[in-house]
Amino acid sequence: MKAGSYAPTRYLPFGDSAVLIEFGDAISLELNRKVIALDEAILEAEVQGVEELVPTYRSLLVRYDPLKMTYEQLVFRIKEIEEKAAESTAKVGGRKITVPVVYGGEYGPDLSHVARYHGLIEEQVVKLHSGREYRVYMIGFVAGFPYLGAVPDDIATPRLETPRLKVPAGSVGIAEKQTGIYPCEAPGGWQIIGRTPLELFDMLRQPPALLEPGDIVKFEPVSEEEFKTIRESIPKGVHMSFSEE
């Protein structure tokens, strides 16, 4: 058993209408892969009585209709699906999505702090942040907010001591080893290093969130002019680069 991973998977009652399936108690790619694999397998199996699934870092919440099944029946059925999902070699989800970002300046007021904290220059922080692919571990905090991991240790930075009352929509931040994007203006303590012109959440869109757990995100540095051009073109849905892996 790897550190932080449970064997067997833990099935825990969550009130009378949900079961929480815990794969471990750590933030890790391996655990999150298991979460997403089971999420997809249950969705695919279209289990009668399953109402909705909430994948997070290391667990999957399954909300069900207690009029349609007992707790034991549900757990039995999901364990069957879990076994099959574990045997299958099918690759787990993961659309690749490019997110353009203007780094620094008024768009990323904490970029200089992050650089100083690590004894880097701002350009190095940008290069490190945009130089790797991130996995969407979960969506939470506010509608459409993706928790992405993990940033290189060289730029992992603690949250602000005093959170801001207002972080603008589109802000890209770092909190320890996580990076994330604010879909709407919200209070927050993440170190803001840039901003994307993309709409992370649009309630008139289906699905409403741009990103889903399991997606792969790549940040792409853009200029202020490009930011504005993209921003103006958003209603047409341009510049959201989706590609199946």
Which listed range, 81-89, 134-142, 160-168, 221-229, lies at the site for other proteins (CB under 8 A)?
A: 134-142
Which listed range, 10-18, 84-92, 98-106, 225-233, lies at the site for other proteins (CB under 8 A)?
A: 10-18
What 3-state class would DSSP assign to 188?
Answer: strand
Give the span between the Cα atoms of 123 and 98, in whole angstroms. 19
Residue 195 CB: number of other CB atoms within 10 A?
28
Q: What is the pattern of x (binds other proteins, CB under 8 A) and - over residues 57-96?
A: xxx-x-x--xx--xx-------------------------
Cβ-contact 196, 210 below 8 angstroms:
no
Q: Which residues pair with 178 in a beta bridge?
A: 149, 175
Which residues ranging from 166 to 205 are in contact with other proteins (CB under 8 A)? Answer: 184, 201, 203
The nearer residue to other proteins, 168 or 208, going by C-beta atoms, is 208
Which phi and psi angles does 73 have, rounded to 5°?
Answer: -60, -40
C-alpha distances out from residue 223 to 21, 106, 181, 230, Å: 43, 13, 18, 11
30 belongs to the binding site for other proteins (CB under 8 A): no
Of the candidate residues 37, 114, 115, 139, the single one contacting other proteins (CB under 8 A): 139
* Site residues (vs other proteins, CB under 8 A): 12-18, 20, 22, 25-27, 51-59, 61, 63, 66-67, 70-71, 138-145, 147, 184, 201, 203, 207-209, 212-213
